[in-house]
Structure 1
Amino acid sequence: MTRTLAFPAAAPEAAVEYFSAELGFEVDPDDLVQDLEAGRTDGYVVVETRAPEAFAHARIPGAINLPYRDLTPETTAHLDRNLVYVCYCESTVCNAATKGALKLAELGFKVKRLSGGIAGWIAAGYPVEGDKAGGMRCAC
Structure 2
Amino acid sequence: MPTEVTAVPAAPSDQAERHYAAKLAFETDCDDVHGALAAGTADFVLLDVRGAGAYARGHVPGAGHLPRREISAERLAAIPPTTLLVVYCAGPHCNGADKAALALARLGRPVKIMIGGVTGWRDEGFPLATGTAPGTLAEV
TM-score in terms of structure 1 length: 0.86
Aligned to 1:6: 7
- Work out the percentage of aligned pairs sharing the same amino acid: 38
Aligned to 1:19: 20
Letter in 2 for 1:72: S
Aligned to 1:104: 104
Q: Work out the CA distance in 1 between the residues paired with 2:45 and 2:77.
A: 15
Letter in 2 for 1:75: R
Structure 2: gaps of 5 or more residues: 132-140
Please state whether the residue corresponding to 2:105 is helix, strand or coil.
helix
Letter in 2 for 1:60: V
Letter in 1 for 2:75: T
Letter in 2 for 1:32: V
Write the deviation string for residues 54-105 of structure 1: whole angstroms up to 9, x where unpaired.
Answer: 1111111110011111112332233221111110001100111111111001
Q: Work out the CA distance in 2 between the residues paired with 1:33 and 1:66.
A: 19
Aligned to 1:69: 69
Report the more deviating stretch, 108-117 or 73-82: 73-82
Q: Work out the CA distance in 2 between the residues paired with 1:114 and 1:63.
A: 12
Q: Give the total of aligned pairs.
A: 130
Aligned to 1:34: 35
4+ long deviations beyond 3 Å:
none
Structure 1: gaps of 5 or more residues: 132-140
Q: Work out the CA distance in 2 between the residues paired with 1:127 and 1:4.
A: 36
Q: Work out the CA distance in 1 between the residues paired with 2:73 and 2:65.
A: 16
Letter in 2 for 1:16: E
